[in-house]
Amino acid sequence: MKIGVVKEIKNHEYRVALTPAGADELVRGGHEVLVQASAGEGSGLADASYEAAGARIVSDAGGVFGEAEMILKVKEPLEAEWALMRKGQVMFTYLHLAADRKLTDAVVATSSHAFAYETLEVDRKLPLLEPMSEVAGRLSIQAGAKYLERPAGGTGILLGGVPGVAPAHVLVLGGGVVGTNAARMAAGLGANVSILDISLDRMQYLDEILPPNCTTLYNTRMTLHEELAKADLVVGAVLIPGAAAPKLVSREDLATMKPGSVICDVAVDQGGCVETCKPTTHEEPTFVVDGVVHYCVANMPGAVPRTSTFALTNATLPWVRRLADLGPARAIHQSPPLAKAANAIAGRLTCQAVAEAFDMNFHPPEEAAAAID
Ligand SMILES: NC(=O)c1ccc[n+]([C@@H]2O[C@H](COP(=O)([O-])OP(=O)(O)OC[C@H]3O[C@@H](n4cnc5c(N)ncnc54)[C@H](O)[C@@H]3O)[C@@H](O)[C@H]2O)c1
């Protein structure tokens, strides 16, 4: 299959959907790889490194879209790209259709075959979302440490303290992928860490794998209040799949927190678990409410594109290969995870959650695949 990689055009998006090593694997697997010139630049990956891996550099996006049978991307196609998508062309990317009706209509109208990273499911897990949660979890502590510094508006406490001076107290709300990675980083820096969750199974697991300066606590209103009063840094990392994040911290709760403490609400992409949270960008990542610094960047991994690109492509590559080897119709029939990833096939909406979100007709992917000629 001819696989095309285009340069991301979303504002401040520096990731790319394939590394040179990934291109090498695909070429070795018998596929042809086309990469738009400078597509990897933002992640420090030169055109020459793709060429050395056997890929062909194409000067512009139009050339890649025009020739490739499958387009690999990171973010959802933007309006300028809709006109370039072709009937029967496969697209594999983060789509997040449920967040955007106009995008959904546009993708369906192209009659392309759009597969979404975020709905690919294996054993009830979403393995193509996980790497970005790992990045965001770890980054939340780096960001938190920075905004706790006095010149950045924080209390001026060092996460790990020093001999003779107590370390900071970090409160992690939700001990899933984001929360576990945040807890590990904070604990590694020497902070005292509390993780609040409501899943006893998860807390048993965390208790076994995390170092002794991490404590798991069952999330009740009373425990949360006690912890908020002690916290220097709060990381919001709760998720109820498919639903808006529950608002665990209310505006009134901020009054019980230390002035200059920091909230990093990673769950902001699902509405946030702090009432006062609203999405921010890397240009202006923070704002202050009632003396508490809020960091609520909705695309945290974008700040570390080099790491994020490698983490993402490590996870996507096996599925890109499978989709390219099988083609869209056989992939849907033979690979249940890829059938789950199918969002819009041959002009039909094939993701039930998106159909429900917009009250649109849902077509099972297998039925839509039958329309692929
Ligand atoms: N801002 C970003 O750039 C960015 C990047 C990656 C992920 N995220 C978001 O981070 C959030 C967390 O993702 P994840 O991968 O860790 O999810 P996850 O499913 O692995 O973990 C969620 C955890 O929250 C717990 N939980 C649910 N309800 C709770 C409650 N009431 N109290 C305490 N804990 C509760 C669950 O038991 C689970 O352990 C998601 O909203 C995800 O979209 C944001």
pLDDT tens figures, 30-82 = 999 999 999 999 999 999 999 999 999 999 999 999 999 999 999 999 999 99
Any atom of ligand 1 within 6 Å of the Cβ of 135:
no
The structure tokens 């006690």 sit at 226
Ligand 1 binding pocket includes 132 (Cβ within 6 Å): yes
pLDDT band at 372 (very low <50, low <70, confident <90, very high): confident
The whole-angstrom separation of Cα 21 and Cα 58 is: 18
Q: Give kind and range of the element (H or E) at residue 293.
A: strand 292-295
Question: What was the pLDDT predicted at 12?
Answer: 85
**Residue of 217, 266, 282 best suited for mutating to test ligand 1, as the one with most atoms within 8 Å of CB:** 266
Is any atom of ligand 1 closer than 6 Å to the C-beta of 206?
A: no
Average pLDDT over residues 281-290: 95
Strand order in the sheet with 214-218: 214-218, 192-197, 169-173, 233-236, 262-265, 292-295, 286-289
For residue 96, indicate whether it is catalytic.
yes
Q: Against a cut of 0.85, is the pTM above it? A: yes
* Nearest ligand 1 atom, CA 199: 37
The ligand 1 atom nearest the CA atom of 265: 1
| Residue of 75, 94, 178 best suited for mutating to test ligand 1, as the one with most atoms within 8 Å of CB | 178
Please, where are the H alpha helices in the chain?
A: 20-28, 47-52, 61-67, 79-82, 101-109, 130-147, 177-188, 200-209, 221-230, 251-254, 305-334, 336-341, 352-358, 365-369
Q: For ligand 1, atom 7, name the residue with the nearest CA.
A: 133
Helix (H, G, I), strand (E, B) or coil at 72: strand
Pocket flag, ligand 1, residue 249 (CB < 6 Å): no
Contact status, residue 72 vs residue 320, Cβ threshold 8 Å: yes
- Annotated active-site residue 294? The verdict is no
Question: Which of 122-126, 169-173, 234-238 has the weakest average pLDDT?
Answer: 122-126
Phi, psi for residue 47 in degrees, rounded to 5: -55, -40
The pLDDT, as a whole number, for residue 83 is: 95
The answer to whether the CB of 112 is under 6 A from ligand 1 is no
The C-alpha atoms of residue 147 and residue 335 are separated, in whole angstroms, by: 45
As a whole number of angstroms, the distance between CA 277 and CA 262 comes to 12
At residue 129, what are phi and psi to the nearest 5 degrees?
Answer: -95, -30
Please identify which of the residues 31, 253, 269, 363 carries the catalytic annotation. 269
Tell me what percent of the residues of the chain surpass a pLDDT of 90.
92
Computed from CA positions of residues 45, 48, 53, 55, in that sequence, does the dihedral angle turn out positive or negative? positive
Summarize pLDDT for 198-209 with one digit per residue, the tens.
Answer: 999 999 999 999
Nearest ligand 1 atom to the CA of 175 is 39
Average pLDDT over residues 217-227: 98
pLDDT at 67: 98
- Phi, psi (5° rounding) for residue 239? -145, 130
Q: Cα(118) to centroid of ligand 1, in Å?
A: 14
Q: What does the pLDDT look like over 333-367, one tens digit per residue?
A: 999 999 999 999 999 999 999 999 899 999 999 99
- The predicted pLDDT at position 98 comes to 86
Q: How many CB atoms lie within 10 A of CB 336?
A: 13
CA of 340 to the centre of ligand 1 (A): 21
Q: Could you write out the DSSP letters of every residue in 210-264?
A: S-TTEEEEE--HHHHHHHHHH-SEEEE----TTSPPP--B-HHHHTTSPTT-EEE
Contact 18, 5 (CB under 8 A): yes
pLDDT tens digits for range 82-135: 999 999 999 999 998 988 899 999 999 999 999 999 999 999 899 999 999 999
Q: What is the mean pLDDT of residues 169-184?
A: 98
CA dist 282 and 296 (Å) reads 9
Sheet containing 342-345, strands listed edge to edge, beginning at the edge strand earlier in sequence: 56-58, 32-36, 2-5, 70-72, 90-93, 113-116, 342-345, 348-349
CA distance 265 to 95: 22
Cβ 271 under 6 angstroms from ligand 1: no
Close Cβ partners of 154 (under 8 Å, ≥ 6 residues apart): 147, 148, 260, 261, 262, 293
Say if residue 242's pLDDT is above 70: no
Verify whether ligand 1 is closer than 6 Å to residue 304 (CB atom): no
Which structure tokens are listed for 69?
Answer: 């049978």
- Which has the closest alpha carbon to 93: 112, 69, 75? 75
- Cα angle, residue 148 at apex, residues 142 and 152 outer, rounded to 5°: 100
Ligand 1 pocket, 154 CB below 6 A?
A: no
Q: Which domains does the chain have, with CATH numbers?
A: 2-111+305-369 (3.40.50.720), 130-303 (3.40.50.720)
- The predicted structure's pLDDT at residue 269: 83
- What atom of ligand 1 comes closest to residue 297's alpha carbon? 1
Specify whether the CB–CB gap between 261 and 286 falls below 8 A. Answer: no
Q: Whose CA is nearest to atom 11 of ligand 1?
A: 267
Spell out the residues 6+ positions from residue 250 whose beta carbon is closer than 8 angstroms to its own. Answer: 275
Query: Is the confidence at residue 241, as pLDDT, over 90?
Result: no
Determine the distance separating the centroid of ligand 1 and the alpha carbon of 177, expressed in angstroms. 7
